[in-house]
A = this chain, B = another copy of it.
Amino acid sequence: MLYLVFYDISSDDLRNKVSNFLKQKGLERVQYSVFLGDLNNSRLRDLEVGLRMIGKRKGGEDERFLVMIVPVTENQFRQRIVISWELGKRDEEGEVIW
């Protein structure tokens, strides 16, 4: 099943940890803080456990750490609307983030 993973994480360090973890798990980066992956139940569980480990260390009062995983269809994903300054930006490895 196709899953959309998106995150809003204020700490640069944790944000990098999450994006590296998602890449390691074979998900595709489609936007600066959005990944897409076709996952069976065991890979989904594995993803959730790993993300909970990364998010275990609670941050300060004004720090944000949110990761949401939602099932979507390819058709729904194609209908997405993106409003972003990230167009054409490259990430650490030079991958074009759109």
Which positions in A face B, CB cutoff 8 Å? 4, 6-8, 10, 31-34, 44, 48, 51-52, 55, 58-59, 63-72, 76-77, 79-86
Contact = CB atoms under 8 A, between A and B. Distances in A.
A52 B85 contact: no
A66 B33 contact: yes
7 contacts: A6-B8, A10-B10, A65-B83, A66-B84, A70-B72, A70-B80, A72-B76
Nearest to A66: B84
A4 B59 contact: no
A65 B84 CA distance: 5
Contact of A83 (B64, B67, B80): B67
